[in-house]
Amino acid sequence: MKILRYLFLSFLILLTSCEIKPEPIQYGMDGCHFCSMTIVDRQHAAEFVTSKGKVFKFDAVECMMNQLNKEDISEIALFLVNDYVTPGKLVSAQEATYLISEDIPSPMGAFLSAFENQVDAERVREANTGILLSWAELQKKYLE
């Protein structure tokens, strides 16, 4: 009976240790996996989660995109970016709309911001300047 209990407990630990879910970014404490800067900007941070549940955090979308050049993208389960309009809110990178505008600086100087929806992105672009990109267009720009 004890052996069965230990086996069940071990199985339960293994099952929960590889859970694929986002992890909140600890602003001012977490470091960017790509450039090692401390993540402080709530409007431009990003993260991805591998199919094994490992979380990689970034201080800017451009850092995440540069890191993806070193990764097997098929091993990544979640791509997340902060919504520029709602600082600190992680949204699906694949569904987001991106704005490159020299009027809106980002931590690494690419002037790249992410928006949960296209309406917000267009509204911010109208008040500034820049070009809008989809996830596919952003990948073409950054991934070799």
Residue pLDDT, tens place only, 96-132 = 999 999 999 999 999 999 999 999 999 999 999 999 9
Does some domain include residue 2?
no
**Residue 141, class by beta-carbon neighbours within 10 Å (0-12 exposed, 13-18 middle, 19+ buried)?**
middle
Beta-carbon-side half-sphere exposure of residue 116 (alpha carbons within 13 Å): 11
Note the pTM of the prediction, 2 decimals: 0.86
Cβ count within 10 A of residue 129: 13
Question: pLDDT band at 134, cuts 50/70/90?
Answer: very high
Asked if residue 1 is part of any domain, the answer here is no
Question: CA-to-CA distance for 76 and 65, rounded, in angstroms?
Answer: 13
Task: Provide the percentage of residues in the chain whose pLDDT is more than 90.
Answer: 85
48: containing domain? 20-142
> Within a domain: residue 96?
yes
Would you say residue 129 lies in a domain?
yes
Of the pLDDT bands very low, low, confident and very high (cuts 50, 70, 90), residue 19 is confident
Number of domains in the chain: 1
Within 13 Å and on the Cβ side, how many CA atoms surround 67? 22
Q: How confident is the model at residue 95 (pLDDT cuts 50, 70, 90)?
A: very high
Is residue 11 in a domain?
Answer: no
Considering the domain boundaries, does residue 65 fall inside one?
A: yes
Average predicted confidence (pLDDT) for the chain: 92
Residue 7 domain-assigned?
Answer: no
111: in domain: yes
